Amino acid sequence: MILALLAVGAIGGLLAGLFGVGGGIIMVPLLLWWARMDQRQAAATSLVAIVPTAIAGSIFYGIGGQVDWVAAMFVGAGTIVGAPIGAWLLRSLPLAWLRWLFIVGLLAAAVYLILVTPERGGSLELQPLVMLGLVGLGLVMGLAAGMFGIGGGIIAVPVFIALFDMGDLLAKGTSLLAMIPAAVSGTVPNLRARLVRLRDGLVVGVAAVAASGAGVSLAFLISPSLSSILFGMLLVAVVAQLSVRAVRLQAREKREREG
């Protein structure tokens, strides 16, 4: 189990650094498959691992001058409100809903990433309407963090690029910094609800931190179009696997109810 958790963390950390996400987008499915967790446990445990992963990744991007600290502050304020609400929904909604909401969200992100080519360069001009939009983005990120165990970067990075005209590297670095309060505020209620396998989450987090630096280095080396296409293809593969698993689980649950 330790080797499986380390592998989950290493893969999640590499992708976190490369794509500016918390790593939960791949860690949750891997925890479902390799660690035999259910959706709630996987989401809650992944969120624990995202905290050190996001801290390390944002430091690496910050060293390269690719973090908008003020924008991250506004987004982070929204996540603090959204994450506890998402954690409550995680405990309250039926597991089947959580599975399919997660799958639909991944598919939408994959389509965007494959079809839209981001640019390198660009910055954000803070105005009242922009600041309000950043807080709103943080609210959505927090909901996603609490419900699905992801940092919200899969939402933030495309939105930063498409709506706020950020360059791809700046979007990734800012996303990682902004998701730290979401991961923390979502983890606290999960711990109280005893959904978190804390030791497993810390093992995954340590491995993710170790791998995140390599991911950030790759992000600076490859073109934004290649990065976007690779991430989109990865998400399509994850969606396919999760859809098959969700259909099988629903069929099994139906048989158990009828039996």
> What would the pLDDT profile of 48-106 be if each residue is shown by its tens digit?
999 999 999 999 999 999 999 999 999 999 988 888 888 787 677 676 776 787 788 77
**Cβ atoms of residues 123 and 166 within 8 Å:** yes
Structure-token match 């001009």, residue found:
125
* Model confidence, pTM: 0.83
Delimit the domains of the chain by residue range. Answer: 1-258
Please write the tens of the pLDDT for every residue from 200-243. Answer: 999 999 999 999 999 999 999 998 888 888 878 877 887 887 78
Nearest of 93, 38, 35, 48 to residue 191 by alpha carbon:
48
**Which phi-psi region, left, alpha or beta, contains residue 29 (left: φ > 0; alpha: ψ -120 to 50)?**
alpha
pLDDT grade for 259, boundaries at 50, 70 and 90: low
Structure tokens at 69: 């600290």
